[in-house]
Structure formats: C-alpha cells, structure tokens
C-alpha cells in the first residue's frame, strides 16, 4: 500500500489517498492513541469513490472513531470497464428512456451488476488484508453501503462482523439467494419511494437474511433522500457491534 497524499480535516480526521497495485482508495482515520475498528464503505454499482455522498459519510464516520476505507474496485470509478459493461449501461439508459418493462430492465441490470460484484470482491479482500496490517487499525471490521457487494462479502468474509446496507441498488438473483447465508448483525436503510428500487423486493430481501439481529429503517422519500439522522443511528449500530467488541468507548 502506497499513500499518495494526505490532509488533516477540520474535525481532526486524517484523509489519505492510496494505491494498492492497480486499486486506488481513500482512508479516513480519527485522532486516536489506540487501534480503532475498521469500516469498509462502498458505493452502488460501479460509481466512484470520490462520489460526494460517500465522501461525506466516510469523513463523518471517521470523526466518530472509526477507520473508514473506500476503493475503486475492478469496473468501478475510473478503473477500466469492459465493452460488455459499457453496453449494459447504455442499454439501461435506453430502457429507462423508452419505458421498457421492469422485467427487461432487471435482465440488463443482472448482466451488469452480477459480474461487477464478482470482479470487485477480490480487490476489496486484498484491500482489507493491507488495511489490517497498518498501525492504528485493529478491527473488528464492518461494512457499509452497496448492498449487492455487501451481501456477497458478508457471506464469504469472516472478518466482517456487522453491516449496514443501503437498499437503493439492484441486487442480483445470486445475492438474493446468498442473503440466507448472512448471519451477522445488519442495519438496512430503505427509502420508501425509491424510484429505482421496488419496495417489495427490498422487503423480501430483508426477510431473507439469516441474521438473528437485523433492523430495517424505512423513510419516506426518493433514492437520495436518506435523512441526516440515519448517520447517527448507523454509528450507534457500529458502536454496539464494533466498539463494544474492541473495547473502545
């Protein structure tokens, strides 16, 4: 892992850009004299790590006592995209513009998101290995954000012990089935009127998770309308499952 830049923010958080082979990432860490828990934070469906809402969440979460990392995994952000991915994105835009049936749009999403998830997972696990080797990061590990990726990671990565999911993106059929294997504590945020995410599908997915402790927060509004106070609730969730385990206050 090679750090390429750093800046100290007004709230004391240290923001550092890094590269890990071909993987570009950002790491936010709080002022702390002891190792802190780590949260992996991902945005939906190939958007960049520099997306303003993700950056704001990362900085806010780090200021509350966590190391937070995000990366542009394979096919995400400015990383090279395959011809098939570019064609799928073009097909999705055209399908929405022409008002094609939901079932057809779902098939196109399936062809894009399923491969993206499987390409992204190795980069995230490589990043996790490198982050846990850094001084000041002691675990345990949480996950936040992109649900399709998070379901797969939570099912196969034992170091992730809690997750908060944003139910605002398409989840492939394989991950809907895989949800039954996920048993860690979960907090799922749902926008009740999300124009791109059928409400019943999100509720069915929540029901499918195998976790004994799972919480659903539903708020009125569209895709980007998650209320600011949900950030506080997410931090309380991580406080119970990451800080309590690590012994941090």
**Of 181, 162, 191, 145, whose CA–CA distance to 45 is shortest?**
145
How many C-alpha atoms does 203 have within 13 Å on its Cβ side?
7
Question: What pLDDT shows up at residue 1?
Answer: 94
How many C-alpha atoms does 64 have within 13 Å on its Cβ side?
20
CA geometry: angle at 100 spanning 99 and 102, to 5°?
110
Question: What pLDDT shows up at residue 246?
Answer: 52
Rounded (10°) angle between helices 83-98 and 102-132: 140
Predicted structure pTM score: 0.91
Question: What pLDDT shows up at residue 245?
Answer: 62
- pLDDT tens across 99-128, in order? 887 777 888 888 888 888 988 999 999 999
- Strands 137-146, 2-8: pairing kind: unpaired
SS3 134: coil
């Amino acid at each position: 892992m090679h750090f390429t830049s750093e800046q100290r923010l007004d709230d004391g958080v240290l923001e550092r850009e890094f590269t890990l082979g071909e993987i570009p990432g950002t790491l936010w860490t709080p002022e702390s004299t002891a190792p802190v828990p780590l949260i992996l934070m991902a945005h939906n469906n190939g958007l960049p790590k520099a997306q303003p809402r993700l950056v704001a969440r990362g900085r806010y979460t780090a200021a509350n006592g966590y190391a937070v990392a995000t990366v542009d995994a394979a096919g995400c952000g400015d990383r090279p995209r395959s011809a098939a991915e570019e064609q799928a994105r073009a097909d999705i835009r055209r399908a929405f513009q022409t008002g094609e049936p939901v079932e057809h749009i779902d098939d196109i999403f399936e062809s894009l998101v399923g491969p993206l998830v499987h390409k992204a997972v190795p980069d995230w696990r490589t990043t996790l290995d490198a982050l846990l080797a850094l001084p000041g990061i002691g675990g345990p590990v949480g996950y936040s954000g992109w649900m399709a990726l998070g379901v797969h990671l939570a099912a196969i990565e034992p170091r992730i012990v809690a997750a908060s999911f944003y139910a605002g993106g398409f989840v492939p059929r394989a991950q809907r089935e895989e949800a039954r294997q996920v048993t860690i504590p979960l907090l799922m945020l749902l926008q009740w009127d999300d124009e791109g995410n059928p409400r019943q599908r999100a509720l069915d997915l929540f029901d499918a998770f195998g976790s004994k402790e799972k919480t659903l927060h539903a708020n009125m509004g569209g895709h980007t309308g998650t209320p600011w106070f949900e950030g506080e609730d997410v931090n309380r969730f991580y406080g119970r499952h990451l800080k309590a385990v690590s012994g941090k206050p």
